[in-house]
Amino acid sequence: MRVAMSNAFESLLSNSQVDLPELRLALSEALENSVERTEVSRRILSHALSSLGRALCLAGSAEVGIEFLADAMDAHPSAGSHSFLHLLIRQAEDAGAQGVSQEAIHRWQDIAVLMGEKTPEFVYRELSHAYGQNRQGFSGNP
């Protein structure tokens, strides 16, 4: 039951806009089913920090936004990493579309590192494509 409630929270908090009455109901059910208050608090804090970070990044304040996303991951790794990954994917796609292949490569690599063994195949395809588009190298020494 505890795992199911944990999954319900993951699903509820992974949405970009949380329905507050639905969140209140999920909180009540979680507390009635013995989910620890600290776990619930950490997930909600992570979601709030993640939402702020994502908003700041999209508003052009990426440095501050990334700090919020990092704090979200510290508060609860699975809840915070969801938004962080979406942001990195968007940055990688944007860099590729703009022809900035080095940046796209770095972002796709960041995604693969964060996801580890759970990295979906499309990430590797996009990374391979970005390498194929890279004409300027990486400015390293011969």
pLDDT tens digits, 38-89: 777 777 787 778 778 878 877 878 778 778 877 887 777 665 566 677 778 8
pTM above 0.95, yes or no: no
pLDDT tens digits, 90-141: 888 988 999 888 889 988 988 888 777 888 899 899 999 999 988 776 665 5
Cα→Cα distances 130→95, 126, 137, Å: 9, 6, 11
Burial of 13 (0-12, 13-18, 19+ CB in 10 A): buried
